[in-house]
Structure 1
Amino acid sequence: MTLAVSNRLDSTFGGTWPYSPKYNTASGFQMHYVDEGRGPETLLLLHGEPTWGYLFRHQISEWSKKYRVIAIDHNMGFGKSETPQNRPYWLQNHIDNLENFVFDLGLDDLTLVCMILVDQPEWDLLYVIQN
């Protein structure tokens, strides 16, 4: 189930986050995401720890001119996603949350864009996984 709007942290962070918040509850908590642009391909942007979809704020603006771009705060308690109490934060739970989200929105034929931050900024990694 997808909720169009929520009261949770709907700040634009000084205008640097101009995207309309959406929330998905397929995993039993409010998972924040933005869905911008329309195009023949869908890019699903996944942040690493300890970040959130804000990391992709500049890319969303550009990529949404050509693609449907979905940036999801897929880790519980990250970004604008709810921090549910008494839920495990294991890797399998994160995988299940992401799978529930993808199936609930009916996403297929998508490209995953994953950003991972490490201790040395020059080592930050961007993975692109297609289909």
Structure 2
Amino acid sequence: MNGDPIWQNEYPFTSRWHEADGHRYHYLNEGAGDQTILAVHGNPTWSFYWRNAIQRFRDSHRVVAVDHIGCGLSDKPQDYDYCLETHAANLGSLIEAADLRRITLLAHDWGGAIGLLALTQHRERFERIILLNTGAFPPPYVPWRIGVLRCPILGPLAIRGLNAFAGPAVTMAMSRQTLSPTARAGLLAPYKNWSDRVAINQFVRDIPMSPRHRTWQPLEKLEAALPSLDHLPTRLIWGMKDWCFRPECMERIQKSMPHAETVPIDDAGHYVMEDAPDQVLDAIDEFLVRTNDRAALPATDGPAA
């Protein structure tokens, strides 16, 4: 990474490390307080995606933002079991090791499934859910732009060799505006070469196309568990111009979680935190403040998944 100031000025945080599954798992732990915001990124981003949320909320909350193994500043082992359940287990191990409590899950993209799966295994530690453009079920469709990257030989060559996933994402995941050079540099900084992009490729490979795929059943079970989370205040903040996690994904989550509030942002794309930062942060802030009294009540566990 070599201290590139073009993006590090927007990431003025102290790196921390946790050993997860035998590897160094990078995370940020900013602010203090008895309530925690646990920010979980998707593919192909990293904790840099949450920089504005950390700056906004660290005066009132403990804000923890993780980098999945293979992503961001975490170790990038080349021979590793990159899959949904492994990522969720790593997140769960950090939750326990750092003794995170009174957690608000803040998750985007694959981070939604990873974070929710970890939540179902540590229910007593969570108080709220905030999801941005994500899914928690077997995919009802796979966009052709992603589907073509799953070809056994051409897919890795494109994703890892030509940077044909993370590179185009900084443009294609936006709708309202263009990413600044600083944001673009920051999002791409950990993914400079073939080795760096190992997890990006494996995330794409982990999209289940049929019930025979190893990740289909965990996603199926996760969706079945969503109604049991109705004791947790939930808000869905959605960029409605997302061509990947389209509005029907928000609607499908809401069918399982009818108590969830929705905040659609009509002209924002998949990188909704980058495309509409003020609207997203204000929606998070209002939700945290309004639900604080309810969250302060004694926690009750939902039914077992």
TM-score range, shorter chain: 0.7 to 0.9
Corresponding position of 1:5? none
Supply the AA of the counterpart residue of 1:103: E
Contact 1:26–1:104, Cα closer than 8 Å, also in 2: no
Could you say which residue in structure 1 is the equivalent of 2:63?
69
Question: Aligned equivalents of 1:70 and 1:91: distance in 2?
Answer: 20
The 5 A counterparts of 1:1-131 are: 9=1, 11=3, 13-73=7-67, 75-116=68-109, 121=174, 122-123=241-242, 124=270
Residue 108 of structure 1 deviates from its aligned partner by: 2.3
Structure 1 residue runs of 4+, over 6 Å off?
none
Distance 1:104 1:10, change over 3 A: farther
Number of equivalent positions: 120
> Partners in 1 of 2:173 and 2:8 — Cα distance?
28
Name the structure with the higher strand share.
Answer: 1
Deviation sequence 1:86-111 (CA, Å, 0-9, x none): 21111111111111111111112211
Pair 1:40–1:80, CA change in 2 (3 A): same
- Measured against aligned partners, the alpha-carbon deviations of 1:67-122 in whole angstroms (never above 9, x if no partner) come to 0000111x211110111232111111111111111111111221110022686543
What is the distance in 2 between the residues matched to 1:31 and 1:53? 12
Whole-angstrom CA distance in 2 between matches of 1:105 and 1:93: 18
Instruction: Give unmatched runs, 5+ long, in structure 2.
Output: 110-132, 135-171, 175-240, 243-269, 274-283, 285-294, 300-305
Q: TM-score, normalised by structure 1?
A: 0.79
Distance (whole Å) between structure 1 residues aligned to residue 92 and residue 2 of structure 2: 25
Instruction: Please state how far the C-alpha of 1:53 moved relative to its aligned partner.
Output: 0.4
Q: What root-mean-square deviation, in Å, do the aligned CA atoms of Structure 1 and Structure 2 show?
A: 2.5
Question: Radius of gyration: which is bigger?
Answer: 2
Query: Which structure has the higher relative contact order (CA within 8 Å, separation 6+)?
Result: 1
The TM-score normalised by the length of structure 2 is 0.36
Alpha-carbon deviations, 1:31-77, whole Å to 9, x = none?
1111111122100000011100000111101110110000111x211
Q: Are the equivalent residues in 2 in contact too, given 1:77–1:84 (CA < 8 A)?
A: yes
- Structure 1 regions of 5+ residues with no counterpart? 1-8
